[in-house]
Amino acid sequence: MNNFSIENQLLNISFLLILITLIIYWLNLIITDLNILKQISKFSTIIINLCLSISLIYRWINNHYFPLSNLYESLVFLTWGLTFIQLILEKQNQSKLIGAINLPIALFTIGFASLALPNEMKEASPLVPALRSNWLMMHVSVMMISYSTLIIGSLLSILFLIVSKGKNIELQGSSYNTKIKTNFIINSISRKYNRLNLLESIDNLSYRVIGLGFPLLTIGIISGAVWANEAWGSYWSWDPKETWALITWLIFAIYLHTRLNKAWNGKKPALIASLGFIVVWICYLGVNFLGKGLHSYGWIL
């Protein structure tokens, strides 16, 4: 059994587990009172993440560099990032929605890596001189984790738009309301405090997730700029991938600014975040398939 087939087996197991876990998550949304489904899905997500981790570490040990040098490796890492962020968010929020909307994307990325890419694109090849740097691990891994986080945050915004379709909404959990006072009458018997409804919790969670992804994207872009300056003497060259990373950054910067504006409350920020979802995918996959620029993985279309 060669190295590649071991990796392949691990990815196939991951693919199968993601498919099963996705079904469990969706069942859990329908049958809400079964706690065992929640436990199974959580455990299964941990197993998926472990399988992907082992696959990446195995490839790292065999090839002596962090596996982020081609499209196949980056897709596997993106799937790992999606499941990892999901686990973190579920630990904090206990929400069944995150897995239900995240796993279809994870299924797509792992499926695309396993099934759509030709074998020569999956094979590890020695790094080109420009990639022989510690910045590779720093820059690309942070970018991929930021993409994972922003994808989940954007998906939550899309879900918010779907759920709020045809509804006139007034959110109290929005970040703009610096003037709203939360009143508590403190006494030994009763304490009244507000709990957010489904829409508000989706909106709030989306904001928090994008709020986590945005600084990561900032670090990713900046580390890339520093590396580019070290490698070929230009921290910004308007390369297509660089430009689209900037566009992604601008989209989410606009999103975060709209959250501060009372006039933009509700659906408008969610629309921008939904646009951000498309932009992230263009930035990550679309630009590479042009086969142009310094970041191209080569193209298959």
Partner 1 sequence: MLFTNKKNVRWILLKIFSNLNFAICILFIILFFSMLGSIIEQHQSLAYYQNLYPIKSSNIMNFNWKLIIDLGLDHIYESWWFLFILIILSCSLIICTFSVQLPSLRNARRWKFINGYSTTQQNCLLSNNIYINKSIINIVACLDEQGYYCFNRQLKLYGYKGLIGRIAPIIVHISLMVILIGATISFTNGFIVQEIIPVGEIFHIKNILGSGFNNSVPIYSTFRVNDFYINYNIDDSIKQFFSQLSYVDQHGYKRVYPTIFVNSPLKFKGITFYQTDWQINALRIQLDSSCIVQYKLNKVQIGKSIFWICHLPVEKNKYLFIIISKLNHEIYIYNSDGALLFTSFLNQKINISNNSFRIIEIMSSTGLQVKVDPGLLFVYLGFALLIISTFISYISYSQIWFIISNKSCYLNGSTNRAILSFEEELVLISDHYINNFNE
Binding site for partner 1 (CB under 8 A): 125-126, 128-130, 132-133, 135, 172-173, 175, 177-191, 193-194, 196, 204, 208, 211, 214-215, 218-219, 222, 225-227, 229-236, 238, 240, 243-244, 246-247, 250-251, 253-254, 257-258, 260-261, 263, 287
How far apart CA 122 and CA 172 sit, in angstroms, is 48
**Least separation in angstroms between CB 255 and partner 1:** 10
**Least separation in angstroms between CB 185 and partner 1:** 6
Per DSSP, the three-state class of 269 is helix
30/185 with CB nearer partner 1: 185
**Least separation in angstroms between CB 163 and partner 1:** 18
Task: State which amino acid sits at residue 249.
Answer: W
Tokens (6 digits) for 245: 């990373």
**Least separation in angstroms between CB 208 and partner 1:** 7
235/289 with CB nearer partner 1: 235
Alpha carbon 20 to chain centroid, angstroms: 20
Phi-psi region of 191 (alpha: psi -120 to 50; beta: other; left: phi over 0): beta
Task: State which amino acid sits at residue 289.
Answer: F
Are the beta carbons of 223 and 135 closer than 8 angstroms? Answer: yes
**Least separation in angstroms between CB 21 and partner 1:** 27
Nearest residue to 148 via CA among 204, 53, 196, 79? 79
**Least separation in angstroms between CB 110 and partner 1:** 28
110/228 with CB nearer partner 1: 228
Are the beta carbons of 177 and 196 closer than 8 angstroms? Answer: no
18/142 with CB nearer partner 1: 142
62/243 with CB nearer partner 1: 243
**Least separation in angstroms between CB 181 and partner 1:** 5
26/65 with CB nearer partner 1: 65
How far apart CA 215 and CA 281 sit, in angstroms, is 18
Per DSSP, the three-state class of 129 is helix
Nearest residue to 174 via CA among 250, 265, 99? 265
31/238 with CB nearer partner 1: 238
Are the beta carbons of 99 and 21 closer than 8 angstroms? Answer: yes
13/225 with CB nearer partner 1: 225
Measured at the CA of 63, the angle between CA 125 and CA 105, to 5 degrees, comes to: 80
**Least separation in angstroms between CB 62 and partner 1:** 14
For tokens 């600014």, name the residue. 257
How far apart CA 283 and CA 37 sit, in angstroms, is 36
For tokens 């590649």, name the residue. 4
